[in-house]
Amino acid sequence: MAGEVLELSGVGVRRDGADLLRDVSWSVDEGERWVILGPNGAGKTTLLQVAGSLLYPTSGDVDILGERLGRTDVFELRPRIGLASAAVAERVPPGETVLDLVVTASYAILGRWREEYESADLARATALLDALGAAGLADRRFGTLSEGERKRVQIARALMPDPELLLLDEPAAGLDLGGREDLVRRLGVLADDPSAPTTVLVTHHLEEVPAGVTHALLLRKGEIQAQGKVDEVFTPEHLSECFGLSLVVERHDGRWAARAAR
Ligand SMILES: Nc1ncnc2c1ncn2[C@@H]1O[C@H](COP(=O)(O)OP(=O)(O)OP(=O)(O)O)[C@@H](O)[C@H]1O
């Protein structure tokens, strides 16, 4: 029987008098592949930060990988979670090489500093870069990469410590059509891999949802508007309500698309 990876109960996040999340109750079981979808400002990144133990809720309970937030040492918990987000990318030292950036994830650090790496770590980092179509970038400096190249490298870094939970915040944002399709295809391969970690991916766009996603959560104004199996959540009714306009929703070959109804 699959174990629980995330369990949020009545979670609220309040900052500067604003409710960023309200009464969020959500559970994620081992092996599931979730997508969190919602308009700008809905609270998606805030929810992902709570799931990644980077943000404590104002109210409610959060269990991550069996540990209760507030009662556990987050410095032991965080290495069990792989996170790829723009906020992490901004903290990368500009001169850091791609291979160093990926391999240092084993040591939960940013910036190489005299560590002696095992050859097995270097081999794993190289294999992950290869799986994400970024093998040719290993010796490049992170600061010189294009947006699409950065996204792939960040996902390789997030996977490096073999996390039990993988959190991806808008992995396809800023990519051109070819880059998006290539990345979404690779994320689909990852979703289909039974040895890949339980995954939660945040996006604004239905077109960025990889095939193989099993569950979806719709957020609007800090509240859950629908959640459950992806087929039951990605209906025109739920999506129209979530985005506040009448939508036509289509599905082909496991991928989704939405456009405004005429
Ligand atoms: N410290 C704060 N005080 C007040 N409001 C905040 C604070 N931090 C974030 N917010 C607001 O909380 C809301 C949720 O932000 P969040 O980044 O989680 O949304 P999001 O769904 O990820 O948005 P986007 O799709 O635009 O990235 C936004 O309206 C944001 O402006």
Q: Is pLDDT above 80 for 114?
A: no
Ligand 1: residue whose CA is nearest its atom 26? 40
pLDDT (0 to 100) of residue 88: 81
Segment 119-130 mean pLDDT = 91
Q: Select, from the ranges 46-60, 69-83, 100-114, the one with the highest average predicted confidence (pLDDT).
A: 46-60
Residues 186-245 have pLDDT tens digits of 999 999 999 999 999 999 999 999 999 999 999 999 999 999 999 999 999 999 999 999
Q: Is pLDDT above 50 for 169?
A: yes
pLDDT (0 to 100) of residue 227: 98
Phi, psi for 26 (deg, rounded to 5)? -155, 135
The ligand 1 atom nearest the CA atom of 47: 18
Residue 241, sorted as left (phi over 0), alpha (psi -120 to 50) or beta, turns out to be alpha
The rounded distance, in Å, linking the Cα atoms of 198 and 195 is 9
Two structure tokens written together for 132: 């994400």
Q: Is pLDDT above 60 for 124?
A: yes
pLDDT (0 to 100) of residue 93: 87
Residue whose entry in the numeric block shows the structure tokens 């999506």? 239
Q: How far is the CA of 190 from the centre of ligand 1 (A)?
A: 29
Ligand 1: residue whose CA is nearest its atom 16? 43
Q: How far is the CA of 24 from the centre of ligand 1 (A)?
A: 15
The rounded distance, in Å, linking the Cα atoms of 42 and 65 is 25
Q: Is pLDDT above 90 for 91?
A: no
The rounded distance, in Å, linking the Cα atoms of 84 and 253 is 27
Q: Is pLDDT above 60 for 110?
A: no
Q: Is pLDDT above 50 for 128?
A: yes
- Cα angle 155-167-117, degrees, rounded to a multiple of 5: 45
The rounded distance, in Å, linking the Cα atoms of 99 and 36 is 30
pLDDT (0 to 100) of residue 121: 87
Residue 249: CB partners within 8 Å, gap ≥ 6? 206, 234, 235, 236, 239, 256, 257, 258
Q: What is the pTM of this model?
A: 0.93
Of 135, 57, 51, 118, which is closest to residue 85 (Cα–Cα)?
51
Residues 47-63 have pLDDT tens digits of 999 999 999 999 999 99
Contact 218, 224 (CB under 8 A): yes
Q: Is pLDDT above 70 for 109?
A: no
Ligand 1: residue whose CA is nearest its atom 1? 15
Amino acid occupying residue 92: V
Give burial (CB, 10 Å; 0-12/13-18/19+) of 88: middle
Give burial (CB, 10 Å; 0-12/13-18/19+) of 260: exposed
The ligand 1 atom nearest the CA atom of 38: 21
Q: Is pLDDT above 50 for 29?
A: yes
Residues 6-27 have pLDDT tens digits of 999 999 999 999 999 999 999 9
Predicted complex ipTM: 0.95
State the pLDDT confidence band at 1, using cuts at 50, 70 and 90: very low
Residue whose entry in the numeric block shows the structure tokens 């996902």? 155
Give, for ligand 1, the residue of 15, 16, 20, 217 to mutate: max count of ligand atoms closer than 8 Å to Cβ.
Answer: 20
Of 13, 40, 132, 145, which is closest to residue 92 (Cα–Cα)?
145
The rounded distance, in Å, linking the Cα atoms of 198 and 32 is 5
Ligand 1: residue whose CA is nearest its atom 9? 20
Domain 4-260 architecture: 3-Layer(aba) Sandwich (3.40)
Of 204, 219, 205, 229, which is closest to residue 32 (Cα–Cα)?
229
The rounded distance, in Å, linking the Cα atoms of 204 and 244 is 13
pLDDT (0 to 100) of residue 111: 55
Q: How far is the CA of 154 from the centre of ligand 1 (A)?
A: 22
Segment 114-119 mean pLDDT = 66
Residues 134-168 have pLDDT tens digits of 999 999 999 999 888 999 999 999 999 899 999 99
